[in-house]
Amino acid sequence: MQIKIGYLHETPSKNRISLIDIPAPNDGVAGARMSIEDNNTTGQFINQEYALVDIQINDDEDSVSAVNAWRIRE
């Protein structure tokens, strides 16, 4: 059985005082991918598979409509 987990995020703003404060382009998504891999290791013993769905929200897009659009496609 496959369980899909959506990761909803928007493009981080690059307006920062220092370059040190700018997050990595895959900030957050990388941790979610690592969690999915870890859960799939355990899930193989109980016949479960986890899949990450990366949902990028544009600046002018509403988060609710982005989730609903993903849900309808699935």
49-52: Cβ within 8 A, 24+ apart: 49/1, 49/2, 49/3, 50/2, 50/3, 50/4, 50/5, 51/2, 51/3, 51/4, 51/5, 52/4, 52/5, 52/7
Residue 19 has a pLDDT of 72
Q: For the segment 48-60, what is each residue's pLDDT rounded down to a tens digit?
A: 999 998 888 877 7
- Digit-coded pLDDT (tens) for 9-33: 877 666 777 777 777 778 788 899 9
pTM: 0.68
What is residue 12's predicted lDDT score, i.e. its pLDDT? 67
Domain boundaries along the sequence of the chain: 2-73
